[in-house]
Amino acid sequence: MTKTAFITGISGQDGSYLAELLLGKGYHVVGMVRRSPQDVYPRIEHLRDRITLVQADLTDQAGLIRVLSASQPDEVYNLGAQSFVAASWEQPVLTAETTGVGVARLLEAVRLVCPHARFYQASSSEMFGNAATTPQDENTPFHPRSPYGVAKAFGHHLTVNYRESFGLFACSGILFNHESPRRGREFVTRKISRQVACIRLGSEEQLRLGNLHARRDWGFAGDYVEAMWLMLQQESPRDFVVGTGVDHSVADFVEVAFAHAGLDWRRHVLIDETLKRPAEVDLLRADPTKACEELGWKLSVEFEALVRMMVDADTEEVNQAKGNA
């Protein structure tokens, strides 16, 4: 029988890759989007005739109950969130409402409407924040450093709590940074790849960045949605850390990206103090042993290949835009 998967945040980076993965496995995919006057969702336009889109918002309880009742899913993936860490200091209450309390609304809707559905919560390495130990695994204590990290910690604990309280098949995936050519342009990797493409093609000269010393564990988003799906195929619900196990600095990303375009980054990068965060997370590195051993999860793209993939995709996109102008 065809299974139905329900995805919040389908218009985002991960939502688009997850929808492709699930369509390939024969699922009926229902994606939840916020109402948009343009009715255009660029990352999933190529899938529009194969998926069902429904309109609702993580801040609206009744809407979540309505769309889950109508779709009666077998699996629910909660990827919707205000996901930009820097914005969470400017909009802490919105971030709490969407990224934190939104999880409570969705879990309540699942409990009331489709309690047998399997539930995936998109938790984040930002919950570790100022972590006492490196690398971080499923037992590392949380010390979030941003309103976003705090909201994600609430969502994580509530997911575990609904599993323990109501017996829901609810899993929390603690995912480290994952990137792709579909990454939002405000995140540092895409900001770099996009600007390198513009500099390479002569339409820009400078790239303004904040803290170049921060270190992250960066992987390819296409690999990480596979881990989400695998978590919901297990016999029992559990939580998993997903990452590459290798960290790099923002400066490393800059260097590889500019070198790939045949440019010297020192001639183009400026430090802008206003881009530094009120509280930084200096270092995150995953210990993905449990995901590798128990889910059989594997990486397919290494760091340098990821950087090159993003620079090449942006070069093509910027080139095309110039041609169309």
Residues near ligand NAP (CB under 6 A) are 8-9, 11-15, 34, 57-59, 79-83, 98, 122, 124, 175, 177-178, 184
Q: Give strand pairing partners of 76.
A: 6, 119
- 67 part of the interface to ligand F7E, by CB under 6 A: no
- Residue 184 CA neighbour count, 13 Å, CB half: 13
Q: Would you call 193 a catalytic residue per the annotation?
A: no
Residue in 53, 87, 275, 313 binding ligand F7E, rule: CB under 6 A: 275
Q: Would you call 224 a catalytic residue per the annotation?
A: no
Q: Which of 124, 125, 172, 193 is catalytic?
A: 124
- 143 part of the interface to ligand F7E, by CB under 6 A: no
Which of ligand F7E, ligand NAP, none is residue 85 near (CB under 5 to 8 Å by kind)? ligand F7E
Per DSSP, 29 falls in state: E
Q: Would you call 125 a catalytic residue per the annotation?
A: no
Applying CB under 6 A, the span of 14-22, 112-120, 122-130, 317-325 interacting with ligand F7E comes to 122-130
- 216 part of the interface to ligand F7E, by CB under 6 A: yes
Inter-helix orientation angle 147-166/102-113, to 10°? 20
Which of ligand F7E, ligand NAP, none is residue 59 near (CB under 5 to 8 Å by kind)? ligand NAP
> Which residues, in sequence order, are CB contacts of 135 under 8 Å at separation 6+?
245, 285, 286, 287
Which of ligand NAP, ligand F7E, none is residue 191 near (CB under 5 to 8 Å by kind)? ligand F7E
- 268 part of the interface to ligand F7E, by CB under 6 A: no
- Residue 192 CA neighbour count, 13 Å, CB half: 29
CB of 280 or CB of 317, closer to ligand F7E? 280
d(CA 125, CA 141) in angstroms, rounded, equals 11
> Which residues, in sequence order, are CB contacts of 233 under 8 Å at separation 6+?
none
Rg of the chain in Å (alpha carbons): 19
CB of 81 or CB of 283, closer to ligand NAP? 81
CB of 66 or CB of 134, closer to ligand F7E? 134
Q: Is the preceding peptide bond at 135 cis, omega within 30 degrees of 0?
A: yes
The answer to whether residues 314 and 194 touch, using CB atoms and an 8 Å cutoff, is yes
d(CA 243, CA 177) in angstroms, rounded, equals 8
- The closest alpha carbon to 198, from 186, 207, 189, belongs to 207
Residue in 161, 211, 234, 249 binding ligand F7E, rule: CB under 6 A: 211
Per-residue mark of binding to ligand F7E, 225-254 (x: CB under 6 A): -------------------------x----
Give Cα separations from 115 to 73, 107, 142, 244 (angstroms).
10, 9, 29, 33
Applying CB under 6 A, the span of 121-129, 241-249, 261-269, 293-301 interacting with ligand F7E comes to 121-129
CB of 57 or CB of 74, closer to ligand NAP? 57
Under rule CB under 6 A, how many of the chain's residues touch ligand F7E?
A: 23
User: Minimal distance in Å, beta carbon 33 to ligand NAP?
Assistant: 6
List of E strands, the chain: 4-8, 28-33, 52-55, 75-78, 118-124, 169-175, 178-179, 207-209, 215-216, 219-220, 240-242, 248-249, 269-271
Q: Which of 27, 41, 77, 148 is catalytic?
A: 148
Q: Which of 17, 27, 71, 126 is catalytic?
A: 126
The residues that touch ligand F7E, with contacts defined as CB under 6 A, are: 83, 85-86, 124-126, 176-177, 186-189, 191, 209-211, 214, 216, 250, 275, 277, 280-281
Looking at the annotation, which residues are catalytic?
A: 124, 126, 148
